[in-house]
Structure 1
Amino acid sequence: MSDNFQQRGGGSPWGSPPGGSGNGSGRGPTPPDVDKIIREFQDKIKNFLPGGSGSGGKQAILVLLILGFVWLASGLYRVLPDEQGVVLRFGKFVKTTQPGLNYHIPFPVESVITPKVTKVNRIDIGFRSERDSGFSSSGGVADVPQESLMLTGDENIVNIDFSVFWVIKDAGNFLFKIQDPEGTVKAAAETAMREVIARSDIQPILTEGRSITETETQEIIQNILDEYSSGIQITQVQTQKADPPDQVIDAFRDVQAARADMERSKNEAEAYANDVIPRARGEAAKILQAAEAYKKEVVAKAEGEASRFISIYNEYKNAKSVTQERMYLETMEKVLADIDKVIIEKNAGSGVVPYLPLPELKKKVT
């Protein structure tokens, strides 16, 4: 943490009361070119004072005027686009100023601190970079179990590493409301993540629910920091790793593989059902349509037979002998339609013995 973050104070539980000196470092005002200012101002004063510079009293006045001008000019300062000016009056916070050219009452009355407010800061929780920790130059990662191991809502343990990214949104509150910004963000982040994990099941945390966990954690961290007027804005919570503890990770992966197999089998069964069921429904509809057509055909035929029977019966009542003969002939026509037959007229050839060609008829039969 840079020197301009060492001056802290405030009434929050994470900071001491304000009142420290304003000796924070940072980008201060650019020193004016004193020699040039003195020469220009001296030339202008000589033009206004009669008698030139020979008088000792006039020379002293000139020096005082020059010193006063230089002192007043030292109050000019510039705030860069990525900074925010914090004005202190006798070490007490007065106001913040925006990027551009600004002015404050010169030292020792007022001083200015210009922290970088657009710089994105990062805090890692549950792990440390070995390069940052000085363990190794390989850039590996060292796990911190006391931060990363958390209890889930379904009474499982998850090993989660995550990073919190933040910027300064109010330089005045940031410098004087909290004593240790990084420690405050870290404590709030760990508290928030444990709260979210404690009310969640392990499965969503490890799979599709990571984004929800990150969003809820970010909201809780921001609420905690806003309660203490920290002047910090949380920009992102990023999960780096979420796994079961190392001792059971192999068994967990077996469970995950079995669950994946189950999902695959389920999808295959659903695909088969989506193929078979529509075809079965089509076949059933086809059978129903055929049955309905057969029903209509049988009913129509029966109704036709009934109508024909009624019609014949009515004719029979009107002319019994004619109707009987017609029915007999129609019946014989149906019976004898497909067989060979010999018709002998009863009254034809009187006195002649009828001749039947039995051998020829027998050949046709065989």
Structure 2
Amino acid sequence: MSTKIDEQGSIILTTDGKGPWDSPDSADIGAVGDSSGRGGRSKQDPVNPWDPTPDPAARVRGRGPSLEEMLRGKGPGFGGLPKRPNGKSWFPLIIGAFVALWLVWTSIHRIGPEQEGVVMQLGKYARTVQPGIQFTLPAPFENITKIDTKQIQTTSIGSPKPSSENLVLSKDQSIIDMAYDVRWSIKNPSLYLFQLDNPDGTVKEVAESAMRAAVANYDLTQAIGPGRGAIELEVRRRMQQVLDEYRAGVLIQSISIRQSDPPAEVTDAFREVNAAQQRRESYLNDARAYASRVNELALGETAEFDKIYVQYKQAPEVTKRRLYYETMEQVLGKVDKTIVETGGVNTYLPLPEFQKKAAQKTEPVVVTGNKQ
């Protein structure tokens, strides 16, 4: 492209039939190349006006090494490492060391005494290994997942806070706010990992269902008082049965009820009822204790009568007289008495009367009045 000025002073643009990417002619080639003809562009080389290095040789010289060249040790990367004494590259030894480290790291596993390892081969369950040093194929052919089977996990349901009540309906249509803990462990690691999508959530849902089914068999008084132990045992049995049907690989250790109260709106009234029930239980306990004492006394007297009856069969008259004397001794031993006998018998000396009179004589006489 060139410019010309006509007679009137106007600028005229003319083209020479070449574009910026057109191949240059022989004159251009001679202008770009050196005196020896090396490094020049051929007619087929396009011209890029935005290329800061129009010389193709310079572009080749500025290009980085390819991956093939680096692996062969021709580039500035690994090829820059010093050679071994035999003239060979260190690169194969470095690759071999990495491979050996990868094999050791992914093939040898230490399983703790409280753990079991679940081995998966190409994503499929293969086997379960026990504690100790275990060997597997290197990853990704086999992978191992360590599961702590001895740890006791706790799932808490309900809370003492009024904002998170866990309301359960009892047998007598009463509402109970219950909070309890479920302690469980893993008994089959493979089932725990692969059988259920969310085993922890399943344990919680099964616990809630089992608790509602168990409390429905007890009334309010039993559920919040003496029936707690029976409810805990029944919930544990129900949960284990359901989880075994699900093949969850979970073992329920225990159920602990932390709270078993009526809703917060009726707490005060319920406390009064509870206090009255406790007083009733106290009175019943006192009555049971008294009945027990009377029963023991009656049994003792019965045993004594049986002994006397044996003696009575052997000597009826003697036994009658002895019983008479013992009875009169018990009756008359605590009262004042005077016994009058017929003539020829020494009269009974009323010592108790003398003792009373003597006590009256020895009592001091207190005289009050003004001294003259």
Matching of residue 223 in structure 1 with residue 241 in structure 2: yes
Determine the C-alpha separation between the residues in 2 that align with 1:187 and 1:220: 12
One-letter amino acid of the counterpart of residue 84, structure 1: E
2:200 maps to which of 171, 177, 182? 182
1:254 maps to which of 260, 263, 272? 272
Per-residue CA shift, 1:271-305, capped at 9, x if unaligned?
A: 555566858x969x8xxx9xx98xx99xxxxxxxx
Mapping 1:78-93, distance limit 5 Å: 78-93=110-125
One-letter amino acid of the counterpart of residue 154, structure 1: D
Larger relative CO (CA 8 A, sep 6+): 1 or 2? 1
Is the contact between residue 123 and residue 165 of structure 1 (CA under 8 Å) also seen in structure 2? yes
1:209 maps to which of 210, 217, 227? 227
Structure 1 equivalent of residue 255 of structure 2: 237
Taking a change above 3 Å as real, the CA distance of residues 73 and 155 of structure 1, as seen in their structure-2 partners, is: same
Determine the C-alpha separation between the residues in 1 that align with 2:159 and 2:163: 4
The structure carrying a bigger helix percent of its residues is: 1
1:115 maps to which of 147, 158, 171? 147
Structure 1 residue 126: Cα displacement: 1.4
Determine the C-alpha separation between the residues in 2 that align with 1:66 and 1:151: 67
One-letter amino acid of the counterpart of residue 265, structure 2: Q
Structure 2 equivalent of residue 106 of structure 1: 138
SS at match of 2:147: coil
Is the contact between residue 177 and residue 260 of structure 2 (CA under 8 Å) also seen in structure 1? yes
Structure 1 residue 69: Cα displacement: 4.5
SS at match of 1:256: helix
Per-residue CA shift, 1:232-275, capped at 9, x if unaligned?
A: 22111110001122222322222222222223333434455556
Is the contact between residue 153 and residue 201 of structure 1 (CA under 8 Å) also seen in structure 2? yes
One-letter amino acid of the counterpart of residue 121, structure 1: Q
Is the contact between residue 126 and residue 143 of structure 1 (CA under 8 Å) also seen in structure 2? no
Runs of 4+ in 1 over 3 A off after TM superposition: 52-56, 59-72, 266-279
Identity %: 32
Taking a change above 3 Å as real, the CA distance of residues 77 and 142 of structure 1, as seen in their structure-2 partners, is: farther
Gap regions ≥5 residues in structure 2: 1-84, 310-315, 322-342, 344-372
Taking a change above 3 Å as real, the CA distance of residues 252 and 61 of structure 1, as seen in their structure-2 partners, is: closer
Matching of residue 144 in structure 1 with residue 164 in structure 2: yes
Structure 1 equivalent of residue 186 of structure 2: 168
Taking a change above 3 Å as real, the CA distance of residues 53 and 116 of structure 1, as seen in their structure-2 partners, is: farther
SS at match of 1:173: helix
Per-residue CA shift, 1:123-162, capped at 9, x if unaligned?
A: 111128xxxxxxxxxxxx56522xx211111221111110
One-letter amino acid of the counterpart of residue 115, structure 2: E
SS at match of 2:109: strand
Determine the C-alpha separation between the residues in 1 that align with 2:224 and 2:108: 55
SS at match of 2:244: helix
Mapping 1:40-79, distance limit 5 Å: 53=86, 69-74=100-105, 75-79=107-111
Structure 1 residue 68: Cα displacement: 5.8
Mapping 1:259-270, distance limit 5 Å: 259-270=277-288
Mapping 1:191-340, distance limit 5 Å: 191-272=209-290, 278=297
Determine the C-alpha separation between the residues in 2 that align with 1:201 and 1:271: 27
Taking a change above 3 Å as real, the CA distance of residues 90 and 275 of structure 1, as seen in their structure-2 partners, is: closer
One-letter amino acid of the counterpart of residue 162, structure 1: Y
Structure 1 residue 114: Cα displacement: 1.2
CA root-mean-square deviation: 3.8
Is the contact between residue 83 and residue 99 of structure 1 (CA under 8 Å) also seen in structure 2? yes
Taking a change above 3 Å as real, the CA distance of residues 76 and 201 of structure 1, as seen in their structure-2 partners, is: same
One-letter amino acid of the counterpart of residue 144, structure 1: S
Structure 1 residue 102: Cα displacement: 0.6
One-letter amino acid of the counterpart of residue 124, structure 2: K
Taking a change above 3 Å as real, the CA distance of residues 255 and 78 of structure 1, as seen in their structure-2 partners, is: same
Per-residue CA shift, 1:305-328, capped at 9, x if unaligned?
A: xxxxxxxxxxxxxxxxxxxxxxxx
